A and B are shown apart, each in its own frame.
Chain A
Amino acid sequence: MSSTTEVTPSGATGRGSSPRGKGGDARPEVNAGAGASRRRQGLAAWTLALPFCLLFLVFTAWPVIQSLFMSFTDTRSRDLRTPFAVDIVGLDNFTKAFSDPIFRKSMLNTAYFVVVGVPLTMAMALAAAVALDKGITKLRGLFRLGFYTPVITSIVAVAVVWRFLLEREYGLINTVLGWVGIDGPNWLGDPNWAMPGLILMASWRNFGTGMIIFLAGLQAVPWMLHEAAAIDGAGAWQRFRHITLPLLRPTLLFVSVTTAIGYLQFFEEPFVMTNGGPLNSTISMSMYTYKQFGFGNYGLASAMSYIIFVIVAIVTAIQFRLLRENT
């Protein structure tokens, strides 16, 4: 992501070099005319920003703050009309969440989904990108397009389709497994196989995004380095391991962060395919939060959503820590 907040291509043209608030007025060439133009510019800028700011304040900033407030109250659905006439209950909702065995189970399930799903998706994405980048010379566009297609489709729709694909008897996947002599499991009906089934589907649907971004990242790996290493006798795997991977580090970071953020909130897959079962083996944190909301426990649901928020932030920070510096 961009850390270059002040990219002004020709920023030296006298204006806009220091948007750090008060610093601007101190420059000597500011005269009355420039002051007026500056005011006009500020007015224009805020006019342009006004619709965004209003919508953003009402529909994002305010709910984020109110969500935090609600998580410390006993708000229920009957308090809908009077969201502030509720009792403050301190950390009750958070202790209730953490002592709820189903919520704890949903945290474990979400961790399972992320810890297995993110590396699997990234490995598939990277393998596809490397194969398309250097391995083949023709039909690159066709494969790229085909691999990317599942990404644009509705998760609900593909989940409906995959529910049938994963059926034990007449499902396509077990039929194909049968061709090579494997007796496929009862995917969505077996607590041990339901989550692998969901992870398989999620990886199938999402690896295209990572592939596209890796393909762009691979363009930045200088071909000269590969040639030099090949002359020194490095094999294809060694070159991949010691040249390509280190140079892809920023891209890996980006893909792992965005994939993990998405997977930490997975919701449609269990909602459509398993309803969280069997035996709560696929219920996710988002889904359980939605369920509590459905029961009318708004305070508790807010607390749970903030727990998800904090986990997303922590996981993102850890990934930056691991992937950003040192080799």
Chain B
Amino acid sequence: MTRTRSQWWLYAVLTIVLLAVIAPFVWMVLGSFKTQGELLQTPPTWWPQTATLDNYTRLFSRLNFSQYFVNSTIVAVAVTAGNLLFCSMVGYALAMLDFPGRRALFLVVMGTLLIPGVVTFVPLFVLVTNVGLANSLPGLILPFLVSPFGVFLMRQYISGLPRDLLDAGRVDGASELRIFARIFLPLCGPALATLGILTFLGSWNNFLWPLVVAQEESKYTLPVALALYSKGQNSTQYGLLLAGATVVVIPVLAIFLAFQRRFIEGIATTGIK
């Protein structure tokens, strides 16, 4: 009896916390349909009194958010594709093949897991500028095509696959690269899905490097545009900024909700290893 009662209490508390966690997003979406005047009211309103699409039309017509959306998408897709391919290749080599330098390579990967992005951005900017890639989408993409974390994740996963497959492939006379591409890669589905979602979200939300590299508006990604508008002359256009935040958040929210199970399990296993 006391158990059921304490359960009810816990449900009540958890529900309040859940509402508090979700409320900012709901408020953001609802606010993006409000007029400037309504957003400045005290006390604040919850539902829009007179819903308007003005903020979105201005966002996409006057402020060029469709361009930033396209930029963000191109960068995130390219970075994700690169990570899936290159990290699984080297992860497979580390997990299944015996070669001189393997241990050193693995140590380097592990050692650089902890290097903060803020350490490299200055010389990286000098480098990218000198090869003419500053203020370009390749400049945004290339430094993120591989990640030590991705290599670590793929190596861990492939280590758990049966080695007999490797020997079977060799007996059948398949080349080493073919064994990787035709036998092991198709088995990596779950790990590739986790890495793919994590990388896409990471790239979509990435801020410091795009802020440094994208100097012209035409190369902004969504977070860069939103952050700079929130500080510039639009800093008091609250409805506009809330609409911008909605445009940044909703796509990843949709992806997350679609893949959430796999995603959350992926986080849990990488954390435990």
Residues from chain A with a CB closer than 8 A to the CB of B40 are: 170
Contacts of B123 in A (CB 8 A): 62-63, 66-67, 70, 83, 302
What secondary structure prevails in chain B residues at the interface with A? helix
Question: Is A101 interfacial (CB-CB < 8 Å)?
Answer: no
Does the CB pair A293–B272 fall under 8 Å?
no
- A170 near B43 with CB under 8 A, answer yes
Contacts of A217 in B (CB 8 A): 272
Stretch of B25-33, B53-61, B187-195 that contacts chain A: B25-33
Q: B5 at interface (Cβ–Cβ under 8 A)? A: no
Interface residues on A, range: 35 or more
Which residues of B are found within 8 Å of A193, using beta-carbon distances? none
Known: A15-B98, A272-B230. A165 touches B27 (CB 8 A): yes
Q: Is the CB of B273 within 8 A of A24?
A: no
Q: With the chains together, A215 CA to B268 CA distance in Å?
A: 8
From known contacts A44-B177, A63-B123, A261-B114, infer whether A148 and B24 are also in contact, taking CB-CB under 8 Å: no
Chain A 26-44 near chain B by CB (<8 Å), digits 1 or 0: 0000000000011011111
Q: Mark B5-28, 1 if CB is under 8 A from A, else 0.
A: 011001101100110011111011
Q: Name the residue in A10, A19, A212 with the highest tally of chain B Cβ atoms < 10 Å from its Cβ.
A: A19
Q: B217 at interface (Cβ–Cβ under 8 A)?
A: no
A204 touching B31, Cβ below 8 Å: no
Q: How far is the CA of A21 from the CA of B118 in the complex (A)?
A: 35
Q: Specify which of A9, A139, A251, A313 is in contact with B163 (CB 8 Å cutoff).
A: A9
* Distance, CA A164 to CA B27, complexed state (A): 10
Q: Is the CB of B231 within 8 A of A254?
A: no
Residues of A within 8 A of B222 (CB): 154
User: Per-residue CB proximity of A286-308 to B under 8 Å, as 1/0?
Assistant: 10011001000010011001101
What chain B residues lie within 8 Å of A181 (beta carbons)?
none
Whole-angstrom CA separation of A56 from B145 in the bound complex: 9
Of chain A, the residue at the smallest CB distance from B14 is A143
A196 to B84, CA, bound (A): 39
Return the chain B residue nearest A169 by Cβ. Answer: B42
The docked-state distance in angstroms from the alpha carbon of A275 to that of B227 is 11
Q: Give the residue name and chain of the B residue nearest to A70 (CB).
A: B123
| Contacts known (A164-B31, A271-B227); A19 close to B271, Cβ less than 8 A | no
A42 contacts B268, CB within 8 Å? no
* Cβ A298 vs Cβ B126 within 8 A: yes
Q: Which of B24, B107, B125, B264 is A212 in contact with, Cβ under 8 Å?
A: B264
> Quick check: is B49 within 8 A (CB to CB) of the other chain?
no
Whether A49 and B130, one on each chain, are in contact in the complex, defined by CB atoms closer than 8 angstroms, is no
Q: For the complex, what is the distance from the CA of A136 to the CA of B17, rounded to whole Å?
A: 15
B contact residues around A164 at 8 Å (CB): 31, 39, 238, 242
A154, closest chain B residue (CB): B205
Complex: chain A residue closest to B176, CB-CB:
A44
Task: Please encode chain B, from 141 to 178, with 1 for each CB lying within 8 Å of some chain A CB and 0 for all others.
Answer: 01101101001100010011011100100100001110
Decide yes or no whether B183 CB sits under 8 A from chain A.
no
User: Contacts A8-B159, A301-B122 known; A49 to B90 CB distance under 8 Å?
Assistant: yes
**Across-interface contacts of A128 in B (CB, < 8 A):** 17
Are A305 and B223 closer than 8 Å at their CB atoms? no
Cβ-closest 3 pairs across A and B: A44-B176, A213-B271, A216-B268
17 A–B pairs (Cβ distance < 8 Å), ordered by A: A2-B156, A5-B107, A45-B97, A51-B85, A51-B89, A59-B120, A142-B18, A145-B257, A147-B18, A149-B21, A154-B207, A154-B249, A160-B227, A160-B241, A169-B42, A215-B268, A216-B272
| 20 new A-B contacts at CB < 8 Å, known A8-B163, A45-B93, A163-B230 | A13-B167, A24-B98, A49-B90, A49-B105, A55-B142, A66-B126, A83-B126, A128-B17, A152-B205, A152-B252, A153-B249, A155-B205, A156-B230, A157-B226, A157-B244, A160-B245, A172-B27, A267-B207, A289-B118, A298-B122
